[in-house]
Structure 1
Amino acid sequence: MWKRTTTVILGFLLVFGMWVAVVPVTVHACSCAQVPNIEDQLNRKTAIFTGKVVSLTKPVQGEIQSSADPVEAQFEVKTVWKGEVGSQTAVYTALSSVSCGYEGFEVNKEYIVYAYGGPDRLETGFCEGTKTLTSAQNDLKALGTGYEPAKINAKIMIPQEAPLELSTMDTEPDNRLASNGIVLAISLSLLILLVIFIRRRAR
């Protein structure tokens, strides 16, 4: 009876351990503080502008992919409120909202973009206030009259492996460590039970 019970427990733990190892651990989306008001946005951001996304370049999907991999959105800029923004400007964001990336960019849609970073590498994210132009009427009213973009192309190419420097509340590496810890604990439990089972059977 004891041997049968042990075999059932071992089988259950083995199946559970394989499931944990294969199924990705659920991660929590980025948590944001309250979006700054327009005055704070004008003080803190490197660039504020409206524009249409003309191309969207996502990282090549491989065996290993991070939620922080950069996505490049190329904009045809319409109106600028802050920064020396070219008529064609690239903005980068993380691939997933898990790493505070902005996932709402679509080609041929217009947005108001609140960007930080250097003028040669503008970045935005889930917590920065970037949104579609149709939902930005209050922002446009508060910003007032803007100015035309510079007659330059400000697209800067970067290597795909370059990381985005984004502040996150819940990051993917932490979840990977948690997943590895669970798998390790289950593996140790399986090993201990297997040793006990073998010793009992040898008697």
Structure 2
Amino acid sequence: MFTKKRSIIVGITVIFLAVSIFAAPRSAVACSCAEHGSVLETMKRSDTVFEGTAISVKSIASDLFRSSGSRVKASFKVNEVWKGHVAPQIEVLTAGSEDSCGYAFKEGERYLVYARATGSSLEANLCSGTLLHHEAEEHIAQLGSGSLPPQSSSEAQQKDDSFPRSIMIAGIAAVLAAAFLFALVKSRNRFKSKT
């Protein structure tokens, strides 16, 4: 009797496992995007459009609390701007996984980024239209010429100060050279007067 009960329990367990394996849903893609539409439609949906190189890609969440929905911060060196107020360096947030529609930015890669403003930050995802630079030739051609990002105040000041500094350095060098020549001529004259 004990073996009969045991056989029934084992049989029910096997049936339960078989049903759960075959009835389990197949891997589903959590992120699905509607068609991007034309380049101009994609640009209209975006608050910011720029081309730049990812210089840093870091997860915002600590390792302990990281999940597919965790945020990733990508920092870019901006080369060209088509829309929005974009600094020479800018940060864009995205989800940490493609399952959550996160865009997998990689350091050193160039991108055409379509981003939306959410509060005080910019966000891009798989559905925003963002592309690797080498895949974005058609987009860039349709967007036309963009503008350069504004220089940071320190870069602008360095360029403004570089001309006066060079004049000042040249002036100091000329004064030192004149003083040296004057001292050399004076010492020659003393030497001649002694002989």
The residue aligned with 1:149 is 149
Distance 1:119 1:110 in 2: 25
The residue aligned with 1:126 is 126
Query: 6, 13, 35: which one pairs with 2:8?
Result: 6
Distance 1:127 1:52 in 2: 20
Long gaps (5+) in structure 2: 154-195
Per the TM alignment, residue 13 of structure 1 is displaced from its structure 2 partner at its CA by 7.0
The residue aligned with 1:193 is none
Percent identical among aligned pairs is 32
Specify the code of the residue in structure 1 equivalent to 2:46. K
Per the TM alignment, residue 37 of structure 1 is displaced from its structure 2 partner at its CA by 1.1
Q: Would the aligned equivalents of 1:27 and 1:98 in 2 still touch at CA under 8 Å?
A: no
Alignment size in residue pairs? 145
Q: Output one character per residue of 1:34-74: Cα deviation in whole Å (capped at 9) or x when no partner.
A: 01212112222110000000011113221x43322110000
Per the TM alignment, residue 3 of structure 1 is displaced from its structure 2 partner at its CA by 1.4
Q: Would the aligned equivalents of 1:84 and 1:119 in 2 still touch at CA under 8 Å?
A: no
Q: Would the aligned equivalents of 2:109 and 2:132 in 1 still touch at CA under 8 Å?
A: yes
Q: Would the aligned equivalents of 2:43 and 2:114 in 1 still touch at CA under 8 Å?
A: no
Specify the code of the residue in structure 1 equivalent to 2:93. Y
Higher normalized helix content (fraction of residues): 2
Long gaps (5+) in structure 1: 154-203
The residue aligned with 1:136 is 136
Distance 1:100 1:84 in 2: 25
* TM-score (normalizing by structure 2): 0.66
Per the TM alignment, residue 108 of structure 1 is displaced from its structure 2 partner at its CA by 0.8
Structure 2 residue matching 1:6: 3-state secondary structure: helix
What does 1:58-69 correspond to in 2, within 5 Å? 58=59, 59-62=61-64, 64-69=65-70
**RMSD of the TM alignment (CA)?**
2.6
Per the TM alignment, residue 9 of structure 1 is displaced from its structure 2 partner at its CA by 2.8
What does 1:1-203 correspond to in 2, within 5 Å? 2-9=4-11, 11-12=13-14, 16=17, 26-58=27-59, 59-62=61-64, 64-103=65-104, 105-118=105-118, 120-152=120-152
Give the number of the structure with larger relative contact order, counting CA–CA contacts within 8 Å between residues 6 or more apart.
1
* TM-score (normalizing by structure 1): 0.64
Distance 2:140 2:39 in 1: 10
Q: Give the number of the structure whose alpha-carbon radius of gyration is greater.
A: 2
Per the TM alignment, residue 128 of structure 1 is displaced from its structure 2 partner at its CA by 1.0
Q: Output one character per residue of 1:5-40: Cα deviation in whole Å (capped at 9) or x when no partner.
A: 2231355479x49x99xxxx9442411110121211
Distance 2:118 2:87 in 1: 14
Specify the code of the residue in structure 2 equivalent to 1:44. R
